[in-house]
Amino acid sequence: MFEEIYHEYLTYKNEENRKKRYVGNEDWYHASGAGLCSRKLYYESVEKAEPTNPPNKKSLRIMGLGTIVHEDIQNALLYYNNIYNNISHVKEKEEIPSYKKKNAEFKDIKFIIEEEVTIPSFKVRGFFDVFSQDFSASSTDPFNRLYDIKTIGNYQWGIRFSKAKPVEGGHHYMQLGTYGLALKEKYGTVDSMSLLYYNKDNSVMRESVVPLTYMGQAKRYWHTINEEHAKGLPQFRLGTSPVHKWVCNYCQFKDHCKPPAVY
């Protein structure tokens, strides 16, 4: 009973979020799709095909858990902003929150949360997680940092942070580079980019700095996507369509796409 009710609720929230973010902008590419399969992006934003393989119950719960962690961290940052902007609901005679005392060294940092960004030249739009502006060194020229929050399990954590042979973020890096490219156009500079990983199995958090060069890589990627899609549906080509063999099993357009058996 509980599983069915929760699934229905998550399905409703997922659809609500889709309508809020994407209805009316269907022909724009999703920034979160950077580095993913070119055919998937074509079905989604050029052909505007209906998904044939929606997420199953387990996948929806995994995504729902990620959303909860995202929102909790973002709400903490908004709470922080409220305290230092003097708009918190603390009464005059009440003691200054311990939160403010303990984090006084961060008082010159402003957080911008979940804001829409676009790259019109490539018809790309999306919503970044966290953008901070540090005014501690200058009141007019802040140090700008971009963060993307990722929730992963122990297996992925072990691969990503292996002491012997750590694996770079790939699609995560390209996605962050896309947000960075858009924010650079909007704010003038992006001085640092990081992925903030949250381990779902043990609640460990770790920041992973991403090279700023990924903004240039993201620009080249979206230029290639636009050129390729102008010619029609891309052919199957491992490395770009799809990027990896295993991803087809999790694609919402798998039955529509009909990938070869080898994928």
Q: What is the per-residue pLDDT across 78-106, written as a single tens digit (0 to 9) for each?
A: 888 877 654 444 444 445 555 555 556 67
User: Cis ω on the peptide bond leading into residue 97 (within 30° of 0)?
Assistant: no
Q: Does position 211 have pLDDT exceeding 90, yes or no?
A: yes
Q: H-helix or E-strand containing 118?
A: strand 116-119
Per-residue model confidence (pLDDT) at position 179:
98
Beta-bridged to residue 118, according to DSSP, are 125
Mean pLDDT on 198-223? 95
Q: Which of 193, 190, 167, 182 is nearest to 218 (CA)?
A: 182
Beta-bridged to residue 143, according to DSSP, are 134
Indicate the pLDDT class of residue 22, thresholds 50, 70 and 90.
confident
Per-residue model confidence (pLDDT) at position 89:
44
Q: Tokens 């918190």 map to which residue?
A: 88
> 124-135 pLDDT, tens per residue?
999 999 999 998
Q: H-helix or E-strand containing 208?
A: strand 205-210
Per-residue model confidence (pLDDT) at position 260:
87
Q: Which of 98, 99, 95, 195 is nearest to 145 (CA)?
A: 195
Q: H-helix or E-strand containing 197?
A: strand 192-199
Report d(CA 227, CA 232) in Å as an integer.
Answer: 9
